[in-house]
Amino acid sequence: MKLFHSPGACSLGIRVLMEEIGAPFETVNVDLKSGEHRQPAYMKLNPKAKVPALLRPDGRLLTEFPVIALWLARQFPEKNLLPDGPEGDIDALELLDYVVSTLHMRGATLAMRPDRFCQDPKGQEEVRKSGREVLTVGFERLEEQLGEKEWFFGHMTIVDMAVFYLVHWQPRYDLPLTPRLKAFHERMMERPAVKRALA
């Protein structure tokens, strides 16, 4: 397996997941800052020009965080990375998609990079505000769903990896984390897999 990622990007969640799984994998750093993801060499492989992307041993390239995470969880069932119960994969996808499609794409992206959507400084302030509003509502949802548990579904699952990268971006969107999310982030930061992924 080969993971295409970029330090500081949402691919961190997949990197942590792969470290938790502990199977051998290669990493390829795609430098978003210099625009390497839009260069022909990467676009040929992944025309979406995004990270994460995971090259499977059979040669298929997987894109989209929830898809990569679900594939990895299914590939290593002994690691128990899906919620328990007959609809564990559905439960995981429901929350994963909320974190990635709403809180990341519609919340954090707007709050962190308003310049990508608007040139005018006043307009950028509006964009940033709109992203922070989405995050504020989302944090309340996540706070409630986490409750007094250590992990979103009682034991560690692929959902925790997505929440991790989102809360890890906190200094960039500069919105206080709710108490349980803050404790969740601190808990994740203690994990050897996270330390390895961030090293």
Ligand X SMILES: N[C@@H](CCC(=O)N[C@@H](CS)C(=O)NCC(=O)O)C(=O)O
Binding of residue 96 to ligand X (CB under 6 A): no
Nearer to ligand X, 53 or 146 (CB): 53
Q: What is the largest CA-CA distance in the chain?
A: 51
For ligand X (CB under 6 A), the number of binding residues is 11
Rounded Cα distance, 168 and 12, in Å: 10
Strands 61-63 and 53-55: antiparallel
The correct pick among 4, 42, 65, 152 for binding ligand X (CB under 6 A) is 65
The correct pick among 27, 56, 64, 133 for binding ligand X (CB under 6 A) is 64
Task: Write down the least CB distance from residue 78 to ligand X, Å.
Answer: 25
| Piece of 49-57, 144-152, 153-161, 179-187 that binds ligand X (CB under 6 A) | 49-57
Binding of residue 97 to ligand X (CB under 6 A): no
Binding of residue 110 to ligand X (CB under 6 A): no
Cis peptide before 77 (omega within 30 of 0): no
Residue 29: strand pairing partners: 5
Binding of residue 32 to ligand X (CB under 6 A): yes
Where are the extended beta strands (E) located within 6-154?
26-29, 53-55, 61-63
